[in-house]
Amino acid sequence: MSGAEAGTQPVTVLETPIHLDYVFTPGIAQSIFLRGLARGVFLGQRCPTCGKVYIPSRGSCPVDGVATDEVVELPDTGIVTTYCVVNVPFAGQAVEIPYTCAQVLLDGANISFMGLIQEVPADQVRMGMRVEAVWVPPDELGPSLASVKYFRPTGEPDALYESYEEYL
């Protein structure tokens, strides 16, 4: 191998950072959801055909293929349908490990979305656990899921498995 006499260090690792700047538009339906977050409320949409409530709504029912025009305000409470405990550190991690990411099904919703579970040790989070949203202070609210600091247990009895099994 030629060139080793030049005295430079052999290259073993190449830094190849990935950086993407882009403009995101969430569309009409998710804009309603995001504006709701900026007011500290969960806004979903109901399908006029099957009556299911989607949050965040994509603007149409994936089953019936019709527009979901009716806006529905949902409560801060719901249940953990399923979850995972994060034990692995990674770059940019914002929360101390171990922590729990859960699918939260709000009361009255027919689809779950992901939320952070706090104020409970990770090993005590369970399927069916009743939780409520904790919002950031009013002056920090914005059109982003960052407006929801996390969900925490309400202390109510767990939901029965049969009540959420179709959402797993």
Binding site for Zn ion (CB under 5 A): 47, 49-50, 61, 63-64
- Provide the b/e sequence for 7-40 (b: ≥16 CB within 10 Å): eeeeeeeeeeeeeeeeeeeeeebbebbbebbeee
- DSSP-assigned letters across all residues of 98-133: SEEEEEEEETT-SS-EEEEE-SS-GGG--TT-EEEE
Provide Rg for the chain, Cα atoms.
21
Q: Measured from the CB of residue 36, what is the shortest distance to another protein in angstroms?
A: 12
**Nearest CB to Zn ion, comparing residues 49 and 144:** 49
Q: Measured from the CB of residue 61, what is the shortest distance to another protein in angstroms?
A: 17
Answer with the entry of Zn ion, another protein, none that 12 interacts with (C-beta below 5 to 8 A by kind): another protein
Answer with the entry of Zn ion, another protein, none that 31 interacts with (C-beta below 5 to 8 A by kind): another protein
Q: Measured from the CB of residue 61, what is the shortest distance to Zn ion in angstroms?
A: 3
Q: Rule CB under 8 A: say whether 21 interacts with another protein.
A: yes
